[in-house]
Chains A and B, each alone.
Chain A
Amino acid sequence: NAGVMQNPRHLVRRRGQEARLRCSPMKGHSHVYWYRQLPEEGLKFMVYLQKENIIDESGMPKERFSAEFPKEGPSILRIQQVVRGDSAAYFCASSPPTGFGYTFGSGTRLTVV
């Protein structure tokens, strides 16, 4: 039973480019969450999605960031026109409908140069 799969593990982008981070939830999990972790800090909630539906995006920056969880395929976190301040580790988690049994992936480390 594979865990939460995130790819790529490491991503380097130049300022102004787009970054696409992918997350495949655990089998049987229908809820996906994205978090961002800056160096030496805790994780900050960004967005909570179910299939084809954004439930809570209160932690998402208003501009340049978007997320989706289509009917088929992984969840995608998209960052347009990246800036150096976007450099961080981005973690995806998934859970069953109850919310309990929250499982994190190993993260995508984004570096903007």
Chain B
Amino acid sequence: QQQVKQSPQSLIVQKGGISIINCAYENTAFDYFPWYQQFPGKGPALLIAIRPDVSEKKEGRFTISFNKSAKQFSLHIMDSQPGDSATYFCAASRSARQLTFGSGTQLTVLP
């Protein structure tokens, strides 16, 4: 019940395209859903996060869509750039404490 399932495992997108990464969770007690970006040799960096009282949150080119009834949430990266090439992790937690991470998506944006 603590798992967060993330897909796809890897994603290749052309420059300017839309990257979409999906996550699903089981634990209905989760109330905080962040997305992290990680470059090789670095720690995860918070990109954007959402609480379950809203269905969508947008920050620049990054949008989270949240479907509470389906227990799913997704990250959309608009106008994807080569500099966006990284590993993306979704996560979920209760009250922003212990984070349960997805397994990661390796995004490659081709120039």
- Chain A interface (Cβ within 8 Å of chain B)? 4, 33, 35, 40-45, 48, 56, 58-59, 91, 93, 95, 98-100, 102-107
B100 partner residues in chain A, CB cutoff 8 A: 45
Kindly state the interface size class of chain B when it binds its partner: 20 to 34
- CB pair B104–A104 under 8 Å, yes or no, is no
Binding site for A on B (CB under 8 A): 6, 32, 34, 36, 41-46, 49, 89, 93, 95-104
User: What 3 A-B pairs are tightest by C-beta distance, nearest first?
Assistant: A99-B96, A104-B43, A42-B101
Q: Which residues of chain A come closer than 8 Å to B103, judged between CB atoms?
A: 41-42
Identify which of A33, A41, A104, A107 contacts B98 (C-beta below 8 A).
A33
B42 contacts which of A42, A43, A56, A106 (Cβ < 8 Å)?
A106
Q: Within the assembled complex, what's the spacing in Å between the Cα atoms of A91 and B99?
A: 13
